[in-house]
Structure 1
Amino acid sequence: MKDTVDCDIRQSLDRISSQMRRNYSESLRELNLYVGQDNLLSRLWSGDGVTQMQLCEHLKCEPPTVTNMVKTLEQNGFIHRKRDEQDARVVRIFLTDKGRELEEPVGIKWRQQQEKLLNSITAEDRLLLKQLLKQMENNLL
């Protein structure tokens, strides 16, 4: 019985994750963004002028992934790269005005996605869910 329950939980988590990603991806496309680019921008909203390596560490992504995201975001006018004034070998990433303007609409998308996911779940159950998910995350680490 335990194996069946464990398998059901894993399958439910897979389905939830896949559907959330699809829904969220469609939502971000309205802002000319792809999933993941919002997290990169979020890091910059908390303080730009970081290096691509710092973005890799923050996003827990490989350098080529971040390079592609930076390139696309720059082509779309959301960020720009600039050589460091003290060390010309270092390139720093900065938000443009257009990139700064995305903070509120992306935040709205995040909240809408979460509310859709948690619709009709009580505050008490949300707290329990949060605790359980945190424990699951810790188990994997």
Structure 2
Amino acid sequence: MEIKVDCEIRELFDKLSAKMRRDYSESLRELHLYVGQDNLLYRLWLGDGITQMQLSEHLNCEPPTITNMVKSLEQNGFIYRKRDEKDARVMRIFLTEKGKELQEPVGVIWQRHQEKLLKSISTDERLLLRRLMKQMESNLF
């Protein structure tokens, strides 16, 4: 019986993940963003001028993935690259005004989706869910 419960939990995570990704994708497309690019922008909103390698480490993504995201965001005018003043081999990533203006609408999308996901779940249940998810994250890493 234990195996059925474990499989059911895995299946529920798969369903939740797929549905959340589709919903986020549709919402972010309205801002000309793809899933993941919002997280890259978030890191820059915390403090831009970091390197692609630092972005890769912060986002736990492979460097080629970051390179593709940076190219796309740059083409859309949300970010720009600039050579480091001390080491010309290093490129730093900065937000444009257009990129800075996305902070509020992306935050609204995140909040709206979280509220939808957690609707009718009590504060105590949310705290328990958070604790359990942190434990699962720890188990994987």
- TM-score band by shorter chain is over 0.9
- In 1, the alpha carbon distance for the partners of 2:9 and 2:60 equals 26
Query: How far apart are residue 139 of structure 1 and its match?
Result: 1.0
Output the CA distance in 2 between the equivalents of 1:57 and 1:134: 20
Distance of 1:127 and 1:16 partners within structure 2: 19
2:13: which partner in 1? 13
Compute the RMSD of aligned alpha carbons: 0.6
Cα distance in 2 for residues equivalent to 1:79 and 1:129: 36
TM-score (norm 1): 0.98
Matched residues in 2 for 1:97 and 1:105: separation?
14
For 2:89 and 2:127, locate their aligned partners in 1 and report how far apart those are by CA, in whole Å: 47
Equivalent residue, structure 2, for 1:39? 39
CA separation in 1, counterparts of 2:91 and 2:140? 34
SS where residue 85 of structure 1 aligns? coil
Matches within 5 A, 1:83-94: 83-94=83-94
* Residue of structure 1 in register with 2:53 after alignment: 53
- TM-score in terms of structure 2 length: 0.98
> Offset of 1:35 from its aligned partner?
0.4
5+ residue gaps, structure 2, are none
* 1:100-139 correspondence runs (5 A): 100-139=100-139
Question: What are the superposed Cα offsets for residues 10-62 of structure 1, whole Å, 9 maximum, x if unpaired?
Answer: 10011000000000110100110000000000010000000000011011111
- Unaligned segments of structure 1, at least 5 residues: none
Secondary structure of 2:3's counterpart equals helix
Distance, in Å, in 1 between the alignment partners of 2:111 and 2:27 is 12
SS in 1 for 2:88: coil
After superposition, the C-alpha distances for 1:85-129 in whole angstroms (9 at most, x for unaligned) are 111111100000000000010001001110110011111111111
Identity of matched residues, %: 71
**Does 1:63 pair with 2:63?**
yes
